[in-house]
Amino acid sequence: MIKPEKPSNEALRLDALYRYRILDTDKEKSFEDLVTIAKAVCGTSMAAVTLIDAERQWFKSIQGTEAAELPRAESMCGHAILQPQQVMVIEDARVDERFHDNPIVTGAPHVRFYAGAPLISNEGYPLGTLCVFDPQPHQLDTDQTEALAALSRQVMLVMELRRFAQDIQSHMLEREDYERLLNEYHDLLLAQNADLAEQSRTDVLTGLPNRRAMSVALEASLLDADGQPRQTAVALVDIDHFKQINDLHGHATGDRVLAELGVLLRAHFSGRGMAARYGGEEFVVLMPDTDLRTAELQCDFLRMAVAELPLGFPVTISIGVAAHKAGDNVDQTVSRADAALYQAKRSGRDRVEVA
């Protein structure tokens, strides 16, 4: 194990960290939310906001494993802050000479994959990281890496807002200055909340709404303004043999297929429904005020359009369609669409099946 060196400006870095008065404080929802988003965007089982103290790595928020702190000598984040302008990615720690015999690699939580985006203070000092990690080797594509870096900037914004609020409470200010600071704090908080809301509703790769946003929209679409049931259809769309596309052409090409399908879905259902990425190579389409036969025809048009995509190799999709029934909940409707999708795949793929 190679212990991380300390930055040349270590004393100034620690002074900057201590000014935030955040070490050894309780969990806070703003940090928990950002860790949840980072873990989902990067597809890992664990993620954390870490701060590098003089001799330890302390976790402000951690998910997927239980820990409060680690010795700095065992810290991967201690290495990440040495290159503060880039995201440090370790695809397999067991073949990295710095970490192959690290206790967190050889023992619990058995880290193999790690990516850490440094948390940079306003003065330019690296204070810690927003990191994601997993017990399996892993890769991040460009969009995921950029998203992790963007989320690390959001962590710093939350820390600045937190320090700002503490400063307001600890100083007696003239009324005019006090109101000005409150207004600036309010504006920063609104900007952060808007950015977080958008990130938590949107799939990074395709630009479509994600599963969470679709669930909210589906719930809302079942009743009209008067509270009466609406005729609503739901379709589940799956790219046929997507694993083979990744294996034969590479993950970058697989991502391009997902992105192109996202563009096609957005165009196909714009103004008369909503499409979202449901997970992996699966998408879900919401078609309000649409009977089952019309929904089936629309999905068949989509299937034919996908077959014509100029990707350089054939791509097909299978689709399962279900109409929402009075008395059913959202999960039951999606489950019936999923059963129809399974039937489409079992019947030879590249087809639409109706529940």
- Show which residues are catalytic: 281
Query: CB under 8 Å to 327, separation ≥6 — which residues?
Result: none
- Dihedral of the CA atoms 161, 24, 130, 168 (nearest 10)? 10
Q: For the chain, how many residues are written?
A: 355
Q: How many Cα atoms sit within 13 Å of 105 on the Cβ side?
A: 22
Rounded to whole angstroms, how far apart are CA atoms 230 and 306? 29
Angle at 287 between CA 285 and CA 289, to 5 degrees: 170
Strands 56-63, 46-52: pairing is: antiparallel
Beta strands per DSSP E along the chain: 46-52, 56-63, 69-71, 88-90, 113-120, 126-134, 232-239, 274-279, 282-288, 317-323, 352-354
